[in-house]
Amino acid sequence: MNEFKVILDAMIETLPQETSNSGNPIELKELYIPPAHKKALRLYSNLIVGDRGVGKSTWTAALADPQKRKVIENNIPELENSSVTIGFSKAPNPEKHPDKDTINNILKEKINPHDMWKAVVMRWLSKEIRKPIPRSKWQESILWVKNNPEDCSKILSKANNSFKEKNSNGLILFDALDVTSDEWEKMDSIVRELLRLVLELKAYSNIHAKVFLREDQYSRTTNFPDASKLSPTKTELTWKRYDLHGLLWQQLINAKGEGGDTLRNYYEEVTGVAPEYKENYWIIADDIKTDEEKQKKLFEKLAGPWMGKDKKRGVPYIWTVGHLADGNDHTSPRSFLLAIKTAAEDSLNKTGNYPLHYESIKKGVQSASKNRVAEITEDYPWINALCNLLKGMNVPISFVDIEEKWKKEYPGGPIKIKTEKLPPQNSERGWLGIKKELGRLGIFEEMRDERINMPDLFRVGFGLGRKGGVTPVI
């Protein structure tokens, strides 16, 4: 039992404290590249699409950090010697890009967002080739770009030739574009004009751009002439079950002290090889990243073979990821790691045959669900207003019963939902439009008999029940 406590303490200490990432630095031991993400990191991938919590801001921060980029270069050699900058993110950097309030003022002056983004690129490249342009204020840079198209063209060509001569590339990253405006029309225009500029940059062999978008942003903003030319460069950031467990063990083998030694011994015992020590941290072998049989045995060392006393309750390796999936069958690493960390904390107060108690894993799912609900309602406050009305109901449930609750609270329809942020899309289509939007976001699942189900990731946090399911958060 003392061994279990040592292991649990090590897990609690090493798993991430933060449940969100806004471009903040991550430790090298947290830098894990799932095989499917390698394509997203390649220079030709201009559009990186994914839900919240799947790694968009993590990759933005890692690519922009020279130390982290060296690790990435081991997998993506074409990034070697690259000059990387951030063209937009939540992290403030007024010299490199305007913030939300500045963008709002720029748009009030009837400035085309395309000129704004081009000014961001010109500030970056002009500095690379030591060709000064006006930059005391963003409006000044934008006006110069608008009035000097020939000079802009020369800067692009000279910078491209400079990168080519040095056998390197320039890469500019755009993330968190959903915070550029609180109005759908303005935000979509801002993103659409950025994508137009990204398409224009493709004419230059050694200048590249990556734009990190949510799926809904991508679907709404790729409706301009020649946008189809960007489609082949689109990559989705998704995490398979083996990706999530690979990430978990990448972090666990880097635990400190006696607990870390024990976890590394577990890893060697199951896989047959010790983890590799490289540049002050441990890494798991590439073949383990996709070997579900060995990953399953690894997780059994922590949680046992069953989610209870027998196989009827499910296998922890499968159960944990499955109960953290949204309606689109996507599980984010943020939710998964939070669930495991919470399970480790709760297991300290329980006794069993394995370090992680199966009841504690259920507690972990509750915690991750509560956090995911907080995240999505931060992005879309109207979801909180509607789903809170369903608290106490059991799923699956007829949409008629759901609609009845909503109509009683908002007899004037969804357009009457008050929100400080973006209103629901498809609200002009009434409650059926809302159902469609909640389905797109993975909160609702429409069954074959047309009843509405809600995956545990959201059901538990919003306080809905289901027979035999994880207990909802009250």
Q: Please tell me the chain's helix, strand, coil percentages from 3-state DSSP, rounded to the nearest 5.
A: 55, 10, 35
Q: What average pLDDT does the segment 67-72 reach?
A: 92
**What CATH number belongs to 380-462?**
1.10.10
283: pLDDT strictly greater than 80: yes
CATH numeric code, 35-236: 3.40.50
Mean pLDDT is lowest, of 156-160, 223-227, 470-474, for 470-474
Distance, CA of 342 to CA of 346 (rounded, Å): 6
pLDDT in tens, 367-384: 999 999 999 998 888 999
Residues of the chain with pLDDT > 90: what percent? 82
Name which of 340, 355, 255 is nearest 19 in CA terms: 340
**Which residues 6+ apart lie within 8 Å of 265 measured at CB?**
none
Q: Where are the domains of the chain?
A: 35-236, 241-375, 380-462
Q: Could you tell me where the DSSP H helices lie in 135-256? A: 138-147, 149-165, 184-201, 215-221, 241-252
CA–CA separation, 27 vs 197, rounded Å? 33
Contact in structure between 440 and 216 (CB atoms under 8 Å): yes
pLDDT band at residue 24, thresholds of 50, 70 and 90?
low
Angstrom distance (rounded) from CA 73 to CA 91: 24
Confidence of residue 280 (pLDDT cuts 50, 70, 90): confident
* Locus of tokens 């060709």: 131
DSSP 341-395: HHHHHHHTT---SSSS-HHHHHHHHHHHHHHHHHHHHHH-HHHHHHHGGGTT-BS
In which residue are the tokens 């993103």 written?
191
H or E element that contains 257: helix 257-271
* Nearest CA-CA partner of 15 in 362, 301, 368, 278: 368
Provide the pLDDT for residue 308: 87
Tell me the Cα Rg of the chain.
24
pLDDT at 474 over 70: no
Q: What is the pLDDT of residues 296-347, one digit of tens each?
A: 999 999 999 999 887 778 999 999 999 999 999 999 999 999 999 999 999 9
Which residues neighbour 222 within 8 Å (Cβ) at sequence distance 6 or greater?
A: 192, 195, 228, 230, 231
Does residue 157 have a pLDDT over 70? yes
pLDDT of residue 22: 47
Question: Residue 25: its pLDDT value, please?
Answer: 67
**∠ CA(440), CA(330), CA(346), 5° rounding?**
125
